[in-house]
Structure 1
C-alpha cells in the first residue's frame, strides 16, 4: 500500500441518549431513509403540481393522492427491502432464526427487494386512486435517486458494504477486523469506497439525468420512459460497481474469492449483478415501449 485515506472519525450514530435506563440512538442510516423519502415525496409533489410537464397537460395524481402516496412508499421500501435481504442474501440464517427477520434496526435491507416492494405498493396505490400506473411510476423514478445518494453515503459512514482491496490512492482504510482481513496483504488494507461510487452513479448522475429529462425534455409526456431510464441506469451502475464491491461473506469461499453466484470458468457474476441484469433489460424494453406510445393510445 503506497497511499490510502484513513477512515474519517465519524460513527454510525449522530447522537445517543438514555431515558429510564434505556439507550436510544439516532443513526445516520435511519436519517438517510427518512430524508430520502421526504425529498422524493417533495419531488413528486412538484412534478404533480405542473400539469404542463405531463401528457395532455394533465397531472396523473391529485393533491390528495400524492399525500397518500407517502404511506404506500414507506411500507413498500421497508417491507420489500427487508424481505428481499432475507430471501436474496441470507435465507438459511433467517430460516433458522425467523424472529430476527423483524429486527430491522440491526441492518439488512436489499435495494432490489425494496424496488419490488415499491412496485407492488405503486400498483395498489394506482388502483385505489385511479392514477395511470406508468405515469405514477415515472414520478417515483425521478424521486428515487436522492434517497439512493443518501443511503449509500450512510453506508460509507457506517463503514459497511465496502469494496475490494485496492492500491489506488483513493482507497480507504475501513475499520474492523473483517474490513482488514485481506489475504496476501501485509499491514493496513485499503479498499475501494464502493458506497461512494454508487452514491455518485445512482444518486447524483442518474438523478441529474432524470431531472433534466423530466423538466427540460418533456419525457413525462411519454409514460414509462423515465421508469425505463431509471431501471436501465440503476442496473448499469450497480453492475459496474459490483466489480469493485466486496461480495457478501456468505458467497465467498477460498475457491470463489469474488463471491460469484454464477461461475463462467474463471469469470462470473455476483448476486448484485445477477439481480441487476433483469432491471437493465426491463428498463430498455420500457423505454422502447414508451417511445412507441404503448401507454398513450
Structure 2
C-alpha cells in the first residue's frame, strides 16, 4: 500500500439542470465560481485590515476573473496546440468545450494586476501581487477540486493496488453501448485468481430498466464480444479498466425484484489523483501565506509573499507533473512535459523576487 486503499471514483460532473436551460450546472463551474467568491471575501478582509478602500476589491475581482479566463484559455490554445487553434481561431472562443492552462492564467493575472496598480496609487504593483498571491492558491484549490469532479487531469498508474480508479468513462461506455442500462455501480472484490500487477479486481453491477430481459445469446454477445472490443477501442476506457489476460471476462445475469441485473468482473487500474495532490498543496500554500501575512506583515519586505508564492507553486507543479498524464501526446517525445517547461521560468521569476525582497527595505 502507498497512500490509501483503492478508491473507485465515478461522480457525475453535473449537479442539476435548471428547467428551461439547455446547459446543466456542473461541479467545475460551481467550484470555479466558489474560488473567486472565497478569494473576494479574503481580499475584503485584507484591504480592511490594511486601511485600503474595500470598494476597490470589486474592481480587482473583475480584473482577475477576466484575466484568468482569457489568459488560461489562450495559454491552453497557444502552448499545447498552436497549429490547430491558429488555423481555426474561432475554436479559441469555445471555452465550454474545455481547455484551460494555469500558466496562461498566471500570465494573464500578472498583466491585469499591473494595469490595476496603474489606476491605484496607494497599491503598488508588488504590494498587490503580495496580497493576491494569498488568494490565488485558494482559487487554484477550488479549480483542482473541480477537475477531480470532472475526472480530468488524472495521474499515471500507481503500479500498486492503491490509488483511484477513474470509472466515469466506464459508466458512460456501458450506458452508451446499451441504453437499456439504467444504473451502473462499482465495487472492489477480493478475487486473487484474477489479480495482475498494478491492477485490482473490481465488480461492475448493472441494473436494467423495467421490462428488459437478457437472453443467454444476447448476454454472451454483449459481455464476451462487445465489451472487450469497446475496452480495446476506446482509450479513455482502456486506461482505467482491463480484462484479465488469464481468465478473460467473467459475468453473471440474474433477475431481482422484477428487474434485470448483471455483474461483470474486470481489473481496475489505480492512478495517482493528480488533481487532489495539487488541490491539497494549494490549501497548504494558502495557510502558509495567510499565516505569514497575518502574523508578520509588518516585518516582511514588499515582494516576499509573491516571491515565496511563485517558488512554492511552480515547484509543486513541476514535481506533480511527474505523476500526471501529459495533456498532449507529443509531450511524450520531450524530456519534460510542457507544464514543467513553463514552470521553470515562473519559478525563476519567483526566486529572483524572493532574493531581492530579502535585501531591500520594505516599501508600499
TM-score in terms of structure 1 length:
0.85
Q: Deviations over 1:224-250 (max 9, x none)?
A: 111111110111100110110000133
Matched, 1:246 2:325: yes
How far has the Cα of 1:190 moved from its partner?
Answer: 2.0
**Structure 2 CA distance for aligned equivalents of residues 43 and 160 of structure 1:** 28
Closer/same/farther in 2, CA of residues 178 and 128 from structure 1, 3 Å limit: farther
* Paired residues, number: 273
Matched, 1:127 2:125: no
* Contact map agreement 2:161 2:270 (CA 8 A) in 1: no
- Name structure 1 gaps, 5 residues minimum: 52-58, 253-258, 262-267
TM-score in terms of structure 2 length:
0.70
**Structure 1 CA distance for aligned equivalents of residues 307 and 345 of structure 2:** 12
Q: Give the one of 8, 13, 37 matched to 1:6.
A: 8
Alignment of 1:64-83 (within 5 A): 64-83=55-74
Alignment of 1:140-289 (within 5 A): 140-175=132-167, 176=169, 177-182=234-239, 187-201=267-281, 203-218=282-297, 221-252=300-331, 259=332, 261=334, 268-289=335-356
Q: Deviations over 1:70-95 (max 9, x none)?
A: 11111111111111111111212212
How far has the Cα of 1:251 moved from its partner?
Answer: 2.1
**Structure 2 CA distance for aligned equivalents of residues 169 and 229 of structure 1:** 36
**Structure 1 CA distance for aligned equivalents of residues 333 and 296 of structure 2:** 40
* Contact map agreement 2:300 2:362 (CA 8 A) in 1: no
* Contact map agreement 2:71 2:105 (CA 8 A) in 1: yes
How far has the Cα of 1:96 moved from its partner?
Answer: 3.0
Matched, 1:15 2:16: yes
The 4+ residue runs of structure 1 with deviation greater than 4 A are none
Closer/same/farther in 2, CA of residues 213 and 169 from structure 1, 3 Å limit: farther
* Contact map agreement 1:18 1:24 (CA 8 A) in 2: no
**Structure 1 CA distance for aligned equivalents of residues 303 and 268 of structure 2:** 48
> Residue 129 of structure 1 aligns to a residue in which SS?
coil
How far has the Cα of 1:156 moved from its partner?
Answer: 0.9
How far has the Cα of 1:98 moved from its partner?
Answer: 1.8
**Structure 2 CA distance for aligned equivalents of residues 16 and 88 of structure 1:** 34
> Residue 162 of structure 1 aligns to a residue in which SS?
coil
**Structure 1 CA distance for aligned equivalents of residues 270 and 298 of structure 2:** 42
Q: CA RMSD in A?
A: 2.4
State which structure, 1 or 2, has the greater radius of gyration over its C-alpha atoms.
Answer: 2
Closer/same/farther in 2, CA of residues 182 and 25 from structure 1, 3 Å limit: closer
**Structure 1 CA distance for aligned equivalents of residues 277 and 298 of structure 2:** 27
> Residue 14 of structure 1 aligns to a residue in which SS?
strand
How far has the Cα of 1:49 moved from its partner?
Answer: 1.1
> Residue 323 of structure 2 aligns to a residue in which SS?
coil
How far has the Cα of 1:64 moved from its partner?
Answer: 2.9
* Contact map agreement 1:138 1:220 (CA 8 A) in 2: no
**Structure 2 CA distance for aligned equivalents of residues 100 and 126 of structure 1:** 32
